[in-house]
Amino acid sequence: MNHPAEKSFEFDHPTNTALALRRSIANRLVYMVGKDVQSATQRDWLFAILHAARDRIMDRWRETRQITHAQDLKRVYYLSMEFLPGRILSNALMAIGILDETRAACAQLGADFDKLTDMEADPGLGNGGLGRLAACFLDSLATLGLPSMGYGIRFDYGMFAQRIVQGQQVEEPDGWLEAGNPWEIMRPEFSYKVCFGGRLDTSNGGLQWIEAEEVIAVAYDSAVPGHELASVATLRLWSARASRAINLDAFNRGDYIRAMEAKNASENVSRVLYPDDSTEHGRELRLRQEYFFVSASLQDLLRRFLRDHGSLEQLPEMVAIHINDTHPALAIPELMRLLIDVHRLGWDKAWSLCTRIFSYTNHTLLQEALETWPVDLFGRVLPRHLRIVFDLNAHFLAELHTRFPHDHDLLRRVSLIDENGSRRIRMAYLCVLASHRVNGVSALHSELMTTTIFADLARVFPDRFCNKTNGITPRRWLAQANPSLAELIDSRIGNGWRRNLVELEALRAWAADPEFNNAFQLVKAQNKQRLADRIARETGIVLDPDSLFDVQVKRVHEYKRQLLNLLHVVTRYHRILANPSANWMPRSVIFAGKAASAYYMAKKIIRLINDVAQVINSDPRVDGKLKVVFVPNYRVSLAEVIIPAADLSEQISTAGTEASGTGNMKFALNGALTIGTWDGANIEIAEQVGPDNMFIFGLRTQEVAATRAAGYRPRQHYEESYDLRLAIDRIADGSFSPTEPQRYHDLVAALLDSDHYLLLADYGDYLATQDRVDALYRRPFEWTRQAILNVAGMGIFSSDRTIREYAEDIWQLRPINR
Ligand code: 26W
């Protein structure tokens, strides 16, 4: 920087002594919030502390940007429709290294730190695994000092808040920004015009997009501090503002109110997150959202690149763009458009740049989750991009024809346009075509990807496909969520695992150490008490912390099989009633998770869980032996309390359906044993912790396929198993819904007549395996020894390992050098 005033531009860098911290908080309260110790509300204190923490990230944030610039380093831009960062404050204080000091400063100021941190909004800008993975990745990018920026949408309303009313899910808007968001910094100097609609004008030989509407994307930045402030990454979210041009007509006609209505309408594009996980709805607003954030992001990164570099030739050496599932796939035709229409490159040059810049992660094999857009809708909203997609497809198919001249059906099968029925654009195929790397998120999923949904494309582009098994950040999911366990681990093997998770290996030596084993049990007991208190407060249901905490928390979806878990619960209930004096191992079965608002079956499953809980919890005959609870409004901050308290982690998807899972990793890292199918990352967890230290059950992927191919008849299992028949009959006859006995008829019919996810086929093995769980839990030392071995085996599931692999094999990134 060479500014005339540089010499006299001086400022105070905040320091971290107890006194400095206390004064910072007081200063922020007085000069930023505008209150004092007499008048401050709890929120005022929270904001003062947030700002004091933010101040301590700023220097390193600026430094990260300056070094990246000075060292002229390649950057990755991680495009994701969703980010689920969770609360920031504790995470930031821990990254800075002042968590204890801040707690102490608060105590001196008379503020209750724990109560305040619990008031912080939990940004729900995502549905589930995909959004949370993006947040873990940013944490790792920052910790590893890799030049990066996350790009997404600043939704005014994130994932809905879930209330349970008479057993049913009720959705409420999540106005997380309403009280202000002290973490974000608006950057109105980075605003871009994003256009929609209109038509293509081909009149004078060329091709011009005559747009019909425009909206302005305004940048809001948040800092993502890495561990010990190794570096600070940026999350840049776009918010829609009406352009000045909006409805100028109406203004000029003096129709002020109508003009304002139009303004509101155009700002709708960043209003609300679609709460659908794994179902594709093809609504126009969703398409607009996808284009909105991708167009702003590309304009922004091209501006930055051209500021620093003369020629677009070097773009692939300096820029990697990652597409997180297909939701940002429009980045591909948008980059083509910008390069060709704005920067005047030829088609071949532009395409050659694209195919060296983009990479794409697939997160699901479920057919209904694969995005496709009807050609006519797409053309109405983005006529220029439709033209580019058609041209891309023509080039692609022509080239294929020369490579595979005799395989005519291949061209039809891999075409970007699905011509079966109404014509639709296959977004996943577009991503594969443009990306130099396509990855799945676990070993099994990556393999299935190349043998099922992308089988043809894997033959055409054999070198493109690879695997990057998911990971989780140990900073949030162990250090922050489970401080007691973190401290216990530190006391034996030191604190280096936060940065180098494979150091947990050293815990193997401690697994059978009586003192450590016992201390580990104590930590688990404390965490269970903490959860039991929370559940009692929120639901009124009192759990016995000595019972086995059996936990399934994740989105509610048929393929994740919460209903299989519930069939076990109902059977256990009946068995206890049939044999009340047996020595039952007390269990608390804990569920949490949201259902997409339009997903009928998932909502019905939530209702059944609550109905079953109601009957069981109020039946004195099973008191002390069995409890069931559905904890409302599952979100990151709730996960941080539930996961450390689990004894048993339920990962029971139909083999071949869960791409990876990341909850499975969080539970094992916190000392839960897993009951799970041979699916997703469960397989790799078993390889690491040893299959003897996990409860594996059920059909494997090949067997699932074979069972279906042989004409699966679920009713046969019903007929052959007394326990299963009893459980299903009681659900069907209204035993759990006495005021409306037929409530679950459709659900039961679906199970008996089709059972697409093979619950009944796996029921027998699942129940037998649950018996083995009880038997082991009676031996606390042995159970805990295995739990410790699980923790010890989790090293490779750090998102640091995942991100290092992305950086080396996909993005070709080098870290900043401080
Ligand atoms: C278009 C609707 C839609 C919305 C979200 C389709 C698909 C999605 C996501 C891809 C669903 C998702 O979150 N998938 C999860 O991604 C995690 C991170 O890789 C995996 O661990 C989970 O197994 C996978 O279900």
Among 81, 286, 363, 679, the mutation site with the greatest number of ligand 1 atoms within 8 A of its Cβ is: 363
Residue nearest to atom 1 of ligand 1 (CA): 280
At residue 658, the pLDDT reads 98
Closest ligand 1 atom, residue 132 Cα? 18
Strand 319-324, strand 358-361: pairing: parallel
**Do 362 and 428 touch, CB atoms closer than 8 A?**
yes
From ligand 1's centre to the CA of 130, what distance in Å? 5
Residue nearest to atom 21 of ligand 1 (CA): 661
Closest ligand 1 atom, residue 661 Cα? 21
From ligand 1's centre to the CA of 132, what distance in Å? 10
Question: Does 627 qualify as catalytic in the annotation?
Answer: no
From ligand 1's centre to the CA of 278, what distance in Å? 6
Distance CA 218, CA 270 (A): 11
Distance CA 50, CA 38 (A): 19
Ranges of residues in the chain with a pLDDT under 70 are 1, 246-248, 250-251
What's 182's DSSP letter?
T
At residue 390, the pLDDT reads 98
At residue 263, the pLDDT reads 85
What are 766's two structure tokens? 């699942």
Question: Does 662 qualify as catalytic in the annotation?
Answer: yes
At residue 211, the pLDDT reads 95
Question: Does 555 qualify as catalytic in the annotation?
Answer: yes
Task: Name the active-site residue from 68, 143, 469, 662.
Answer: 662
Distance CA 256, CA 5 (A): 44
**Do 666 and 643 touch, CB atoms closer than 8 A?**
yes
β-bridge mates for residue 673, sequence order: 648
765-803 per-position pLDDT tens digit: 999 999 999 999 999 999 999 999 999 999 999 999 999
Distance CA 689, CA 702 (A): 24
Other CB atoms within 10 Å distance of the CB of residue 462: 9
Task: Name the active-site residue from 51, 54, 60, 554.
Answer: 554
Distance CA 120, CA 50 (A): 9
**Ligand 1: which residues within 6 Å by Cβ?**
127-130, 133, 276-280, 325, 363-364, 369, 371, 441, 470, 658-662, 680
Among 277, 361, 365, the mutation site with the greatest number of ligand 1 atoms within 8 A of its Cβ is: 277
Distance CA 269, CA 564 (A): 39
Distance CA 106, CA 96 (A): 17
Question: Does 528 qualify as catalytic in the annotation?
Answer: no
Distance CA 523, CA 486 (A): 10
Question: Does 666 qualify as catalytic in the annotation?
Answer: yes
Which amino acid does the sequence have at 325? D
**Do 135 and 49 touch, CB atoms closer than 8 A?**
no
